[in-house]
Structure 1
Amino acid sequence: MSRNGLSVLAVVPARGGSKGIPRKNLCKVAGKSLVERAALVARALTWLDASVLSTDDPEIAAEGRRCGLAVPFLRPAEYASDQATGVAAWRHAWLESEASFGRRFDCSVLLQPTTPLRRPEDVARTLDAMMQGRHLAAATVSPVPGHFAPQKILRLRDGLLEFLHSDGARHSNRQSIPTYYSRNGLCYAAMREAVVDRMEIVESDCVGVVTEGHVANIDEPIDLAFAEFLAQKGMA
């Protein structure tokens, strides 16, 4: 196994201490837990060399094993707090996986369970964009709706509205505003140098992979309901 001659590790990060939705990673969308949905995508990617779950929670670890993910370690508390960065947890999982499997991984994909409606082709396209362009990393992004563009954002100062952007008043029509993008969480890919050596993802050399359509990214209960709606309607 490998992709374009490079060994690939899939990491599914799923800590237990979610606040917006308690036990979030064990919640179900269309009958499958968020962990299971990430595992099913990993299983469909036959070129992966290993797929691991990174968690601090024994119950989530048991769910990962049930779904076919390797759980060779538990994540330490320092990488599972609200203050811990995603790249630090990814780096820890990468190094622990190399120690557990006794091998080095050239690159890795991060499959967050909180974006449960990803497709295997989203992951393959992200990894290929990084490899073919010889970039250090790649991330899927979605266009930002026009009414959320920086030129449209307002703030309150002493109770009065003002534009955040200096020329915001000039942009009454969204057609005059450039297209912006936000990371949607469907997939991150990175070379070992980016995460292990530099502890970076988007900072230096990260190619954006634009995806179309609605993306459910789950932080609050309404996001879970939205994901359920998309899944039931076959819109994922």
Structure 2
Amino acid sequence: MRWRELPETLDPDARRLVQELRRLKDHNGLTLHMLQAKTPFSGSSWERYLNGKALPPTTAVEALAGLTNTAASPLLELRYAAQRSRAETECLPRKGVEASPSQQVSAPSDVPTASSTGPGKGQRHEQERREIHGVALSLVGGALLLSAVVAGWLIADRPASVGLPAVSATGVGRYHCTYVRHGELMLAGNSPTDADIVALNSTGPDVAEVQCLLRRHHLTPGDVDGYFGKRTEAQVKKLQQQDHVSPDGIVGERTWSLLRHVA
């Protein structure tokens, strides 16, 4: 089959991984329908993985390797490298990232961007990337420090009856959903994970991220409180059923991929 061009924003490790997966699929005469029938993943999920729209979970890589009698280790190494690259660049300003006006943050004018890198300047790309990364981390650190100072003032000086948003030591409380599109993935502002296991009675930011993303899929997990109760579990199962994934109510790599996918 004739494959479409991979996105230019795809990092080298992810690009090599997708190219290897495409080669294995074509060499063994597999179709998306066959992959859906022979693996736990739907045809639409495989379409996203093979066109670089979403990073395939390790179980998908292992499934394709098993179908084609190929060693999974080299493919998994590429997959882990691609995941590390994504984690390193998640906080960087990206062209094409969509957010509401209240959520958009402008980069400082003296920070170099991809569009300002002209011909003959390719050798400075890595240095510029590190500079941007440093600026982004400084901004995040400053915002966190400011939030901590304001929160301390509110708790000390406001009456208890005000009912301020708070998170307990167990990770349960009130969280906010701040949606930002990152390529073909959706982030909700509480956790960037795409692999941590979240299940019944889990607590913390990962759970809040699940609850926010469920709402993006028009499901109703209840309050975004960081507690994975029966209601959240039921909505996770509903999402899994919609995409023909075993409805076990557990959020792992496969279900994170469903939650973060931008339809």
Greater relative contact order (CA < 8 Å, ≥ 6 in sequence): 1
Write 1 or 2 for the structure with the bigger share of helix: 2
TM-score (norm 1): 0.26
Larger Rg: 2
TM-score normalised per structure 2: 0.24
Q: Which has the higher strand share?
A: 1
